[in-house]
């Protein structure tokens, strides 16, 4: 396990035995409730991102500039990302030791970091510059953005099916 060499198993055991991890793990309703909120957050996140990226592709809201559409949906994106991260951390804490052996979990974490980095750099620059961008660059950025976040979603879904890691 590549990742276990970076973080010792004791870290994952500590996370799982934390007050939050233990509380969630021993409750009948907390994990499903947190997971539901997590999925709602992801849906809002992906939906808001999709509207902006579809605008970059020229498919929707053509009467509005990309910068205006992006600013309108930015609060939804960041709020949903915050909700998704908080609920994701809570779910992780409840089963951290199991996640330490799950390669899909680590792939998802790496993809989230890459997607957020892409969003904060390239995507933000293309969206904010609006009309000064080339159409091709906007379309390429939108496709890459959608691919990044779809990869995060697919890796998250794969977590349930991966029993052991690398």
Give the Cα separation of 73 and 50 in Å (integer): 10
Instruction: Give the range of the structural domain holding residue 41, as residue numbers without chain letter.
Output: 29-158
Phi/psi-derived region of residue 7, left when phi > 0, alpha when psi is between -120 and 50, beta in every other case: beta
* pLDDT on residue 49: 92
The answer to whether residue 17 sits within a structural domain is: no
How many domains is the chain partitioned into structurally?
1
- Segments of the chain scoring below 50 in pLDDT: 1-2, 4, 132
- The answer to whether residue 129 sits within a structural domain is yes
Res 2: pLDDT: 47
Position 9 in a domain: no
* Alpha-helical segments (H) within 9-134: 9-16, 19-25, 30-56, 66-94, 96-99, 103-118, 124-129
Radius of gyration (C-alpha) of the chain in whole angstroms: 18
- Per-residue model confidence as pLDDT tens digits over 37-69: 999 999 999 999 999 899 888 888 878 888 888
Q: If you search the block for the tokens 């691919």, which residue do you land on?
A: 147
In a domain, 47, yes or no: yes
Whether 63 maps to a domain, the answer reads yes
Does residue 7 belong to any structural domain of this protein? no
């Amino acid at each position: 396990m590549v990742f276990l060499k970076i973080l010792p198993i004791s870290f994952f055991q500590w996370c799982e035995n934390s007050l939050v991890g233990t509380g969630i793990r021993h409750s009948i309703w907390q994990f499903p409730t947190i997971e539901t909120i997590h999925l709602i957050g992801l849906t809002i996140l992906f939906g808001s991102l999709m509207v902006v990226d579809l605008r970059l592709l020229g498919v929707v809201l053509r009467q509005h500039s990309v910068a205006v559409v992006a600013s309108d949906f930015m609060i939804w994106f960041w709020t949903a990302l915050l909700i998704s991260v908080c609920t994701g951390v809570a779910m992780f804490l409840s089963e951290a030791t199991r996640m330490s052996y799950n390669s899909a979990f680590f792939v998802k974490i790496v993809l989230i970091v890459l997607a957020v980095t892409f969003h904060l750099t390239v995507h933000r620059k293309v969206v904010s510059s609006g009309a000064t961008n080339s159409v091709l660059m906007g379309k390429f950025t939108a496709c890459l953005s959608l691919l990044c976040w779809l990869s995060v979603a697919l890796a998250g879904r794969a977590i349930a099916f991966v029993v052991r890691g690398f």
